[in-house]
Amino acid sequence: MEISKRLLLKSHLKERPRDEKKLGFGDIFTDHMFKMDYYDGAWRLPRIEPNSPLSLSPAAMVLHYSQTIFEGLKCYRHPDGRLALFRPRENFKRFNQSARRMCIPQVDEAFMLQALKELLRVDGDWTPSAPGSSLYVRPTIIATEPHLGVRPSKEYLLFVILSPVGAYYKEGFGPIKIHVEGFYTRSAPGGLGSVKAGASYAGSLLATDQAARKGFSQLLWLDSQEHRFVEEVGSMNMFFVIDGKIVTPKLGGTILPGVTRFSVLDVAGDLGLEVQERNLDIREIIEAQNSGRLNEAFGSGTAAIISPVGTLSYDGNEFTVSDGQVGPITQKLYDELVGIQYGHRPDKRGWVEYLD
């Protein structure tokens, strides 16, 4: 499919962020966006247009029944100035897995990557170069058919927007405080936990907001049946280092199969670290902490890459992990992954996809 373009005149382009060190996360958007419509059984009219508000019927099904999915990946500026995407094919694969679960039509993954590269050829010069900064890519699909009966929509809009970003957490790569949620749950077996559906995130807001008011950056969700087994953090998969071994909850349909999670597992293996994917009881973690065997804890995700956990609060008690410092294994994994993403370390696995 040919991608048509309607671009802004140079004189109408937005002013670029003045200070790349103060970008924050997800507040600034580039000049253009990619769009494509689905109707009469096919994706049509792929195009790049100015980033502007959408026009939707108030009866658009997404507004009523949340039939929407999204993805999140990043474009990095390498020291030689080239733009590099990190494992974008994995994101478009997951986009289709999410689409299947939400009754949204499949997209052509190779075409989506081509469309993203085309958008980056237009707006890629928004990619910042300050350490820790990048251009966040947000592909999204929404159900647009004006209809109030509950069933899958017959019409959709797919769009991709770009946002220059800095650190996700105010702490940067500093240790964050996490509250272990003992009442609310994020997902249940058979539910939406393993896909990126907006509805899962809406359901997580109340508990996350309550924790934020108490000073916690994120929640650690437990399983929905016994409130015992560790699942994941708001936008990160979780890892613990117990007795020198890396332990992470296994994928079972209730947590997101993070691209960063897979990358951490590969890098950890290469570094000769032992990794276990298994059920992980929160009481095992507390016990390990009390007996001095919990060495480190960290989360992984596109937004923050690797985020060390300095404090865990569970059942009214607060535990300081790794003396509130960044542990050596967390640091090693961070250095290797971030090194590959930013082009400072060799990309032995072919994870980096250059624009040209």
Contact code string over 191-230 relative to ligand PLP, x by CB under 6 A:
----------------------------------------
Contact code string over 31-60 relative to ligand PLP, x by CB under 6 A:
------------------------------
Select from 179, 203, 207 the least CA-distant residue to 314: 179
Tell me the torsion sign for CA atoms 81, 87, 93, 96.
negative
What radius of gyration do the chain's Cα atoms show? 21
> Distance between CA 192 and CA 231 in Å, rounded?
13
By CB under 6 A, tell whether 140 contacts ligand PLP.
no
Q: Which stretch in 123-131, 223-231, 294-302, 341-349 sits in contact with ligand PLP by CB under 6 A?
A: 294-302
3-state helix, strand, coil in the chain (%, to 5): 25, 30, 40
Strands 134-143 and 275-278: unpaired
145, 231, 232, 336: which one binds ligand PLP (CB under 6 A)? 232
Count of positions on this chain that bind ligand PLP (CB under 6 A) = 13
**Residue 129 C-beta: closest distance to ligand PLP, Å:** 22
> Distance between CA 190 and CA 268 in Å, rounded?
30
Distance between first and last Cα of the chain: 20
By CB under 6 A, tell whether 236 contacts ligand PLP.
yes
By CB under 6 A, tell whether 260 contacts ligand PLP.
yes
Q: Which of residues 64-83 bind ligand PLP (CB under 6 A)?
A: 72
164, 249, 258, 308: which one binds ligand PLP (CB under 6 A)? 258
Q: Are the C-beta atoms of residues 134 and 165 closer than 8 Å to each other?
A: yes
Select from 21, 15, 12 the least CA-distant residue to 126: 15
**Sequential DSSP letters for 237-292:** EEEEEETTEEEEEPPSSSS---HHHHHHHHHHHHTT--EEEE--BHHHHHHHHHTT
**Residue 195 C-beta: closest distance to ligand PLP, Å:** 10
Residue with tokens 């600034």: 28
Classify residue 197 as exposed, middle or buried by CB count within 10 Å of its CB (0-12, 13-18, 19+): buried
186 alpha carbon, distance to own chain's centre: 16
194, 235, 295, 313: which one binds ligand PLP (CB under 6 A)? 235
By CB under 6 A, tell whether 302 contacts ligand PLP.
yes
Residues in the chain: 356
**Residue 38 C-beta: closest distance to ligand PLP, Å:** 24
Q: Are the C-beta atoms of residues 222 and 233 closer than 8 Å to each other?
A: no
Closer to ligand PLP by Cβ: residue 61 or 236:
236
By CB under 6 A, tell whether 248 contacts ligand PLP.
no
By CB under 6 A, tell whether 237 contacts ligand PLP.
yes
By CB under 6 A, tell whether 256 contacts ligand PLP.
yes
By CB under 6 A, tell whether 259 contacts ligand PLP.
yes
Closer to ligand PLP by Cβ: residue 235 or 289:
235
**Residue 87 C-beta: closest distance to ligand PLP, Å:** 9
Q: Which stretch in 42-50, 232-240, 242-250, 340-348 sits in contact with ligand PLP by CB under 6 A?
A: 232-240
Q: Which stretch in 36-44, 121-129, 277-285, 299-307 sits in contact with ligand PLP by CB under 6 A?
A: 299-307
Task: Summarize as ranges the residues that interact with ligand PLP (CB under 6 A).
Answer: 72, 232, 235-237, 256, 258-261, 300-302
